[in-house]
Structure 1
């Protein structure tokens, strides 16, 4: 009953204020009154004044891409280009927790640049984030597409190994990173990073 009373008082207050201070000509009074009545009618149809009020439950935390992942992608892949622009837009969405939109941006980019290893790697990353940090068949496929297009590029095998390790698939992660290290040029700046990750995986495998 309180809800109805509040709605009625508000409608009357708005009507009175418009009549007293709005200087409405007579011809406009009936449409305004009709609009107020329609509002009350809508409340009658859709409102729930009898329900007990209670605080809304907070939404569960949405998965987000972390800045370290974005920095690593920039380090290992291209930072500029029309195809990379779609990646930057995707990462912006994922920063906000809009992971489905992030995946959509990369897929849209792939329509224009189907042979971009950066976009295929970005799709794998977006799918992993959308899945809460877990590797999925779709993300693994995306990484392998990137590796097939650019076998010497380090980004796709790095992130593939990372997603596998995060998913507890340590043997597969080790195989991926070991192959990456074996193919790496002697002066590759990321060799030491991969070697350290391999040692960490080996320690975890021994601890099982």
Structure 2
């Protein structure tokens, strides 16, 4: 009974913010405001993780850079048109009704399913079990490498996607060097600006700053308007000890940005941090 009471309290604590958000009056928010709000929440969460000791400085810097890259890659704010207040209120109410119903039904169904199939007395995974899971993941990555090496069409789209997948997996496991090499194999098959940005970021995470700068110098002419590549080029220059070059690049990026670009403030702060 104590376990069920604790589980109920935890569920209530988890669902209370959502219930409050659904019940309070809705405020109009455009794409730019939503992107910025999400960006600030993610940065705050990363700061809490670092303060709690769950992220070291290198991992924190890499995660912040990834959040900023996603902000830069977000599509521009769509044009918004004004709507009558009554229409907006009725539309908001119509959207809230199913969410409120789900707010009640989801925990009820979860409790029912766990009542039938759950085992609250089951102990947590041991260190040996976690090691076994990690070893299994390594085996899967090794198998993926073998299949890519023996691919019947090494320059085909399937191989390109496989190398990109391997790069994501290596980067997720904290191996930016291996990720950068996998991304390079994918880019050799077909250039993609987003994938080039991920490779540049992996090189920066691996402290291969000069190599990242050279790679970006080759990649940027292929996608001269890509915001992420332009930002990362400035970042590589800043880390290479060339702040004036970085400032020039970022100034040009901000000058061409629309006033409501969600990433504009982030780039401006980066410029302010330059020596």
TM range (shorter): 0.5 to 0.7
TM-score (norm: length of structure 1) = 0.54
Q: Corresponding residue for 1:162?
A: 235
Q: Corresponding residue for 2:181?
A: 104
Residue-by-residue CA offset, 1:74-128 (whole Å, 9 max, x unaligned): 232379xx978855642431342322210121012113322x1112222222222
Q: Corresponding residue for 2:70?
A: 74
**Counterpart selection for 1:120 from 188, 196, 210:** 196
Larger Rg: 1
Q: 1:94 to 1:77 in 2, by over 3 A?
A: same
SS in 1 for 2:273: helix
Q: Which has the higher contact order (CA 8 A, sep 6+)?
A: 2
Distance 2:250 2:220 in 1: 13
TM-score (norm: length of structure 2) = 0.42
Distance 1:165 1:123 in 2: 18
SS in 2 for 1:66: helix
RMSD across aligned positions (CA): 3.2
Higher helix share: 2
Q: 1:85 to 1:125 in 2, by over 3 A?
A: farther
Residue-by-residue CA offset, 1:24-82 (whole Å, 9 max, x unaligned): xxxxxxxxxxxxxxxxxxxxxxxxxxxxxxxxxxxxx9x76722222222232379xx9
CA positional deviation for 1:193: 1.6
CA contact (8 A) 1:117 1:145 kept: no
Distance 1:182 1:168 in 2: 23
CA positional deviation for 1:142: 2.2
CA positional deviation for 1:167: 3.3
Q: 1:178 to 1:77 in 2, by over 3 A?
A: same
Give the unaligned 5+ runs of structure 1: 1-60
Give the unaligned 5+ runs of structure 2: 1-55, 76-157
Distance 1:88 1:186 in 2: 36
CA contact (8 A) 1:102 1:126 kept: yes
Q: Corresponding residue for 2:244?
A: 171
For these two proteins, the number of residue pairs brought into alignment is 136
Distance 1:99 1:173 in 2: 23
Q: 1:149 to 1:112 in 2, by over 3 A?
A: same
SS in 2 for 1:151: coil
2:264 aligned with 1:191, yes or no?
Answer: yes
Q: 1:144 to 1:109 in 2, by over 3 A?
A: same
The ranges of structure 1 where at least 4 consecutive aligned residues each deviate by more than 6 angstroms after the TM superposition are: 82-85
Distance 2:212 2:264 in 1: 24
